[in-house]
A and B are shown apart, each in its own frame.
Chain A
Amino acid sequence: MHNIRRSASSSAARSAGFVRAAFGSLLVVAAAFFCAKASAQFRVEISGVGATQLPIAITKFRDEERATPSLSVSAIVRADLERSGVFKGVDAPGALDENSQPVMTEWRGRAADALVAGSITRLADGRFDIRFKLWDVVKGTPLGGQSTAVEAGDLRLAAHRIADYIYEKLTGEKGVFSTRIAYVTKGGGRYTLRVADADGEGGQVALNSAEPIISPAWSPDGKSLAYVSFESQKAVVYTQDTASGARRPIANFRGSNSAPAWSPDGQTLAVTLSRDGGSQLYLLGREGGTPRRLTTSNAIDTEPTFSPDGRSIYFVSDRGGGPQVYRIPTAGGNVERVTFGGSYNISPAISPDGRTLAYISRQGNAFKLYTLDLGGNGQPQALTDTSDDESPSFAPNGKLIIYASRAQGRDVLMTTTLDGKIKARLVSTTADVREPVWGPYGR
């Protein structure tokens, strides 16, 4: 099910298939396992060349084909690490496991700097024992490893956790591979709100509706989703507990209610309401209640998003003529303009360290993903060469952005590194997908 292809440039990838990159020993990992899933199957397509990518060899885990025929833990680990942009997978033949004594010269010969080997054993109680070890090939020393026993339903999560472990050991940063994303699909006249792994796999339906669903937003604890549903023939904001499905409308005032955004402490939501005319920002307790008005303009004020310290709210306003990104203190006060380049800038997202703004800028007829250093230095940077980008959202480690775009007539989900160099495409083979939001750590 993981059909991984690599190419040196994203445009080559899109046009005619996939081209071998010029660097290193680039090989296609031919996944031997294809899981027949009903709908919305994602394939991961990674493109781009990073400045310094750490070559890592991940051998098939001993017995993984036999013990878990429906998925490959080693392939999931490899795809995760490659998608981060920090690693490039190298060919890893051979039968090693966590107890092996790998011959380091052999792996150095394969231009690997790190090596992973492991095993999967089916236990008598039906669970799976997964073990692995990580070696520093350059130094020739083991770096660590883990063993864990999991239910079949948690095999994917276990693979993602292995990728997190490796990522953290080798980069010093937290991995985001075991986090989740939410997104909306539209197809066959129906809309769904889905929750999936950060690689797009394992999608589960949280909401199924005949009417549009827009603007999903994860609560900071990862337990709830806020979203806008048109099920009552107007925009109403709901919150929903993802585990139980329990949902409640929290903003259903006169007119339209939309654009929910959670405060970092999870206690407040900023929303756009038209209850007093126009579209203005209000703050609401997480249970709903009486909103406190935040902006007072005669313009459109919408798309609020909190700064990581919760003290400011970035939002979109056309008070200056066209839509631009502004900032206001959460307690109220002076509104400051943040974006100046271009005449139409929307959909702000703030990095977890508060230093980078990602947003969508209309350039001619194209809508493109840009970043801007909020420290005040530097120009806006375009991250893509596509022209229908939407809805950027940062990974919780701030190293990747997920966004929606359009390719070959379909809506697709993409991830990109912050420099725009490594992109991964999560392609839905059936429905159109849009509005991705990256969930927090801590699943």
Chain B
Amino acid sequence: MMKKTMHVGVTALVAAFVLAGCSSVPLDDKSKVPVETRNTTGLGTGAGASAGGAGQSGVTPVDLTKGGANANLGKVVYFDFDSYVLKDEYRPLVDSFAKSLTADRKKKVVVEGHTDDRGGREYNLALGQKRAESVTKALALLGAADSQIEAVSFGKERPAVQGSDEAAWAKNRRAELVYR
């Protein structure tokens, strides 16, 4: 059943907060940008000092694309209509989660499968489950232990985006990887 109960902009904002609330991905570790304070007591000390007078305002860039679990890759996998096939473009994401899990055997990931709002509740719950399982299967193949992964489904009960058009549906056909 389709609803247009919220303005899309507000919806996206709420969805963002909901998603943020749902996940327990520890973005904190990787997202704090260390700001170095430099003492420019001597010329030539420190890399920044010679960069055209950066002086006391030097900033060291932090590259999140190296080694961070998923900060640039996100934690959501999207699916085509009626499909639970894990598309190639999401392999790097799944890969990075698998690496994180194999590196720390105490870590657990729950993969939450979702569908768009078309169709029956229980059948969609099962479809969402298939989506989640295609991700957990991939994680297991990449070395994650069974005890570290669980596939669950919300079916159509927890849409990311309200709406009854393909743009909304595409955003709801997804699996979310959540550290628990």
User: Which residues of A line the B interface, CB within 8 A?
Assistant: 212, 214-215, 230, 233-235, 254-256, 258-259, 272, 274, 277-279, 300, 302-303, 316, 318, 323, 344, 346-347, 360, 362, 367, 388, 390-391, 406, 409, 411, 432, 434-435
Contacts and interface: CB of A to CB of B under 8 A. Distances in A.
A235 B1 contact: no
Given A233-B110, A347-B120, A367-B119, A279 B150 contact: no
Contact of B153 (A256, A344, A406): A256
B150 A362 contact: no
Nearest to B137: A277
B122 A302 contact: yes
B22 to A, nearest CB: 8
B157 A255 contact: no
A302 B126 contact: yes
A30 B112 CA distance: 51
B127 A214 contact: no
Nearest to A215: B122
Contacts of A214: 121-122, 125, 155, 157
Residue from B4, B123, B154 with most neighbouring chain A CB atoms (10 Å): B123
Interface in B121-146: 121-123, 125-127, 129-130, 133
Interface in B91-129: 110, 112, 119-123, 125-127, 129
Contacts, number: 98
Contact of A300 (B110, B121, B126, B158): B126
Contacts of A411: 1
A411 B1 CA distance: 8
A215 B121 contact: yes
A318 B120 CA distance: 13
Nearest to A323: B123
A274 B151 contact: yes
Given A230-B154, A278-B130, A406-B1, A259 B110 contact: no
A435 to B, nearest CB: 7
Contacts of B1: 388, 390, 406, 411, 432, 434
A390 B154 contact: no
B153 A235 contact: yes
A279 B4 CA distance: 31
Given A230-B157, A258-B122, A432-B3, 6 more contacts: A274-B151, A278-B129, A300-B126, A302-B126, A318-B123, A360-B120
A256 B129 contact: yes
Interface of B: 1, 3-4, 22, 110, 112, 119-123, 125-127, 129-130, 133, 150-155, 157-158
Contact of B126 (A233, A234, A272, A388): A272
Nearest to A184: B121
B3 A300 contact: no
Contact of B150 (A254, A300, A303, A347): A254
A262 to B, nearest CB: 16
Contacts of A256: 125-126, 129, 152-153
Contact of A346 (B123, B133, B150): B123
A303 B122 contact: yes
B120 A259 contact: no
23 contacts: A214-B122, A214-B125, A214-B155, A214-B157, A230-B157, A233-B22, A234-B152, A255-B150, A255-B153, A256-B126, A258-B125, A259-B125, A274-B126, A274-B151, A277-B133, A279-B125, A279-B126, A300-B127, A303-B123, A367-B120, A390-B1, A390-B120, A435-B121
A149 to B, nearest CB: 44
A233 B114 CA distance: 13
B123 A300 contact: yes
Nearest to B149: A254
Given A256-B152, A411-B1, A278 B121 contact: no
